Amino acid sequence: MFSKKIFKLEIILDIYSFLNFYNFSEKSVKGMARIVLHERNHPYAIKLDNGKEIHVCACGLSKNKPYCDGSHRKTQDEEDGKIYMYDENGNRVKIVSFYL
């Protein structure tokens, strides 16, 4: 229980370090911004009543949300315990952890 709290604090500190490193500030953010953590790197397969199957995005990168467009393939080589961010073009930026 205690280690989970420390890990969550480390994630928050890593994100804070990333935002400071890239010089983000309230003035540079237009509109609403948020950081969402996704832990899944493949879609949810949902079987419909008519027998067809759809795939719903679970990685957060699909340009065709809520449906999967295959963007999760970019996440396949991510390391466990590391934090990654993707820009609007789908380019990955690894956040270097100073705490883990």
Nearest 5°: phi and psi at 64? -120, 40
The amino acid at 84: Y
pLDDT at 48: 92
pLDDT at 27: 47
Q: What distance in Å separates the CA atoms of residue 66 and residue 11, rounded to the nearest whole number?
A: 26
Contact (Cβ atoms closer than 8 angstroms) between residue 86 and residue 93? yes
Q: What distance in Å separates the CA atoms of residue 60 and residue 43, rounded to the nearest whole number?
A: 10
pLDDT at 23: 53
pLDDT at 50: 95
Contact (Cβ atoms closer than 8 angstroms) between residue 69 and residue 62? yes
pLDDT at 70: 95
pLDDT at 10: 52
pLDDT at 30: 55
Extract the residue ranges of the chain whose pLDDT is less than 70: 1-36, 94, 96-100
